[in-house]
A and B are shown apart, each in its own frame.
Chain A
C-alpha cells in the first residue's frame, strides 16, 4: 500500500532522514521506534507533505505523493495524528471532529454522512460524547489524544499515521489508547503506521517494526523478532533494568 524508496529530508542544512526505505501492506500495523531526535516525526511529516523529502520517492497505492501538497495527500486517504496531539483548543470537541471531515464535505459527501462518521467516532471514544460541547482545551491529556485520533478518523483514512500517541500520558490511558488502535486495525482494517518511544507497548500491538537511529533505519523485522532482539532490548526495552520497568 505504501512504499517509501530512499528518501532524504533536510531542515535547511541538517540532514534529518538519510536514505530511508520502508513499506506497509494493506491492513498492517507497523511501528517505527527510536530515541529522541532519531527522525521519527520528520519521517511522518515527509509522508504527509508538511516537510517534503528532497530526493527519493513515496508511493501510496502506486500514486507518487512525495511532491504533493498536504491537502492532496489527505484527500488520497492518508491522515496524520500530529505529535503532541495539537487539537484545536479554542474550538469545541464537535467542531474539532467536523474539521477532520473538512475534505469529505467538499468532495460532495453529505452532512448526514459526516454525522454518521461522527457517531462512529463517538462510539469508539464514549468519553468524547459527554464532552461534545466542551472546548477541546479543557480536556485532559488522554481525552485530547482520543480527540486527535477521532479527528483523524473523520477523514476516513486508509492509512493512519500516529505520532507518539502515548506522549505524556499515564500508563493506564496508554493501554486504553493502544487497545483502540489495535481494534481499529482488527475491525476496520485500517492500515496504521505508529511512531512510538514506548517501544514495548508499540511492539505488542504491531505486526512489524522498524528501528530508526539518527535518521537511518538500522533494523527491521516482525514485532516478535524485535522484542527478542538483544540490541533492541538493551537500547529501547531496558533489559538490564527489568526490575524498574516492569511491575
Chain B
C-alpha cells in the first residue's frame, strides 16, 4: 500500500513536470507580443485563482472580497517604489506581508461566520478597500491611478518586456501551484477538506478549525498580494477599477468554471476567462451575451467544472474504445 501511494505521488510529480515544461516552452512557438501579453495576464490570474481555491476549494470558506488583497498588494508595492526609494523586490515582500497581516487580523472575527454571512462580510471588506483605494488620493492617486511604477530587475535582466515578464510571472505561479498541490496531499490538506465537509466532525477529530481557517485565509491573502505586486510592476500603472467587486466575482467564476478544489482547474478557469473576451471581440456588442451563455452552459453541464467535465469525457471515450475493442475480438 505504501508503494502504491508512492506511485500516486510520482504520477502527480510527472503530470506537474509535463505541465511546467509546456508552460515554459510556449513562448518559443509564439510570434508577436500580443498573445504573450495575454499569457502574462493568464499567469497572474492563475496565481489569484489558485490563492482563492486554497480558501474556497480546499477549506470551503467563501470570499467575495479577494480583489481587495490583490489591490492591496499592488498599491503597497506601487506606493513604496514610487514615493520612497524602496527596491521593487523588497516592496513585493512588504506588500505580501501587509496583506497577510491584515488577513490574519480580520480573519479571526470574519471566519467565525458561515455561508451567506461570510460572503456578506468579505463583500463588505472588498468594498471598504475599494473605497480606500479611490479616496486616499494623496497616496494612491485616486481614480486617475498611480503611474511610473518601476519594473522588477534581477542583475542585468530588467522585466520590462512581455517575454521576460512571462517567465517572471509563470515561474512564481508554477512554484505556488506546486506548493498547493503538495499541500492538498498533506495532513493539513486533509484537515482542510474535512472542515469543508463537516466542521463539527473535523473539530471532534482534533482539528483546530478556527486557527486553520485563519491560517489558510492568511496564506491566500499573501499569495494574492504577490500577484498584485507582480501586476503593478509589470503594468507600471494601476487604478482602482482593476480591484473592485467585479473582479472579485470574476475570480470566483474562474475557480468555479475551472473546477473547485483542483489546481489545474484554477489554471483552466483563469485561462478561459482571460482569453474569452479577446476571442469574443468579433461578435462586437453581443460578446457579453455569448460570454454569459457559455458560463451558464458550463455550469449546467459540467457541475464539477471544466476539469471534472474533461475527466468525464476522457472516461467516456476510453470506455467506448474498450467496448469497440471487445466487440471486434
Contacts and interface: CB of A to CB of B under 8 A. Distances in A.
Interface stretch (A14-22, A88-96, A176-184, A224-232): A88-96
A237 interface: no
B204 A70 contact: yes
Interface stretch (A99-107, A166-174, A194-202, A238-246): A99-107
B2, B203, B204: residue with the most chain A Cβ atoms closer than 10 Å: B204
A218 interface: no
Given A90-B197, A91-B197, A115-B2, A74 B204 contact: yes
B41 to A, nearest CB: 32
Contacts of B196: 90
A70 B2 contact: no
A49 to B, nearest CB: 8
A5 interface: no
A61 to B, nearest CB: 17
B200 interface: yes
A158 B145 CA distance: 62
A95 to B, nearest CB: 6
Interface string B191-206: 1011011101111111
Nearest to B198: A86
Contacts, number: 67
A82 B208 contact: no
A144 to B, nearest CB: 12
B contact face: mostly helix, strand, loop, or mixed: helix
Given A74-B206, A99-B205, A82 B200 contact: yes
Contacts of A103: 206
A189 B207 CA distance: 26
A79 B205 CA distance: 7
Interface residues of A, number: 29
A80 B206 CA distance: 10
B327 interface: no
A95 B206 CA distance: 15
B190 A95 contact: yes
B197 A69 contact: no
B191 A48 contact: no
Interface in A147-174: 151-152, 155
Given A88-B197, A88-B198, A90-B197, A99 B203 contact: no
A80 B200 CA distance: 11
B201, B203, B207: residue with the most chain A Cβ atoms closer than 10 Å: B201
B187 interface: yes
A74 B191 CA distance: 15
Interface in B172-223: 187, 190-191, 193-194, 196-198, 200-208
A131 interface: no
A71 interface: yes
Contacts of A91: 190, 193-194, 197
A90 B304 CA distance: 13
Interface in A64-121: 69-71, 74-75, 79-80, 82, 86-91, 95, 98-100, 102-103, 105-106, 115
B201 A69 contact: no
A105 B206 contact: no
Given A86-B201, A90-B197, A115-B2, A71 B190 contact: no
Given A71-B207, A102-B205, A105-B187, 13 more contacts: A50-B203, A69-B208, A74-B204, A80-B204, A87-B201, A88-B193, A91-B194, A98-B190, A99-B194, A99-B207, A102-B187, A106-B187, A132-B1
Interface of B: 1-2, 187, 190-191, 193-194, 196-198, 200-208
13 contacts: A70-B204, A70-B206, A74-B205, A82-B204, A88-B193, A88-B198, A98-B187, A99-B207, A100-B205, A103-B206, A106-B187, A115-B2, A155-B205
Interface of A: 48, 50, 69-71, 74-75, 79-80, 82, 86-91, 95, 98-100, 102-103, 105-106, 115, 132, 151-152, 155
